[in-house]
Amino acid sequence: MPLLDFLNFYLVPGIVLGAIYAVGAIGITLVFGILRFAHFAHGDMATSGAFAALALVSAGMAPWTALPLAMAVTAGVAIGVDKAFYDYLKERPKIVTVMASLGVALMLRSVVQVVWGVDPKAYATGIVRPDDYFGLLLRPRELYTLAAVALIVVGLALFLGRTKWGKAMRAMSDNPDLARLSGVDTRKVAMLTWAIVGALCAAAGFLLGINAEVHSMMGWELLLPMFAAAIVGGVGRVGGAVLGGLIVGLAEELSIFILPAQYKAATAFALLLLILLVRPRGLLNGKVL
Question: For the residues 255-271, what does the mean pLDDT come to?
Answer: 84
Question: For the residues 24-31, what does the mean pLDDT come to?
Answer: 95
d(CA 145, CA 132): 17
Of 14, 229, 20, 22, the closest CA to residue 145 belongs to: 20
d(CA 286, CA 264): 26
d(CA 212, CA 222): 13
Q: Are 24 and 242 in contact (CB under 8 A)?
A: no
Q: Which residues contact 269 (CB under 8 A, 6 or more apart)?
A: 224, 228
Assign 3-state DSSP to the chain and report helix, strand, coil percentages, each to 5.
75, 5, 20
Question: For the residues 17-42, what does the mean pLDDT come to?
Answer: 94
* Residue 289 pLDDT: 53
d(CA 113, CA 108): 9
Q: Confirm or reject CATH 3.40.50.300 for domain 3-123+141-278, answering yes or no.
A: no
Q: For the chain, which residues make up each domain, given as ranges? A: 3-123+141-278
Q: Are 136 and 4 in contact (CB under 8 A)?
A: yes
Question: For the residues 134-157, what does the mean pLDDT come to?
Answer: 93
What is the average pLDDT score of the chain?
A: 91
Q: Which residue has the higher pLDDT, 274 or 286?
A: 274
* Residue 2 pLDDT: 79
Question: For the residues 76-93, what does the mean pLDDT come to?
Answer: 92
Q: Are 104 and 87 in contact (CB under 8 A)?
A: no
* Residue 179 pLDDT: 87
What's the one-letter identity of residue 128?
V
Residue 232 in this model has a pLDDT that exceeds 60? yes
* Residue 22 pLDDT: 97
Question: For the residues 49-71, what does the mean pLDDT come to?
Answer: 96
Residue 30 in this model has a pLDDT that exceeds 70? yes
Measure CA 245 to chain center. Answer: 9
d(CA 129, CA 163): 42
Q: Are 234 and 284 in contact (CB under 8 A)?
A: yes
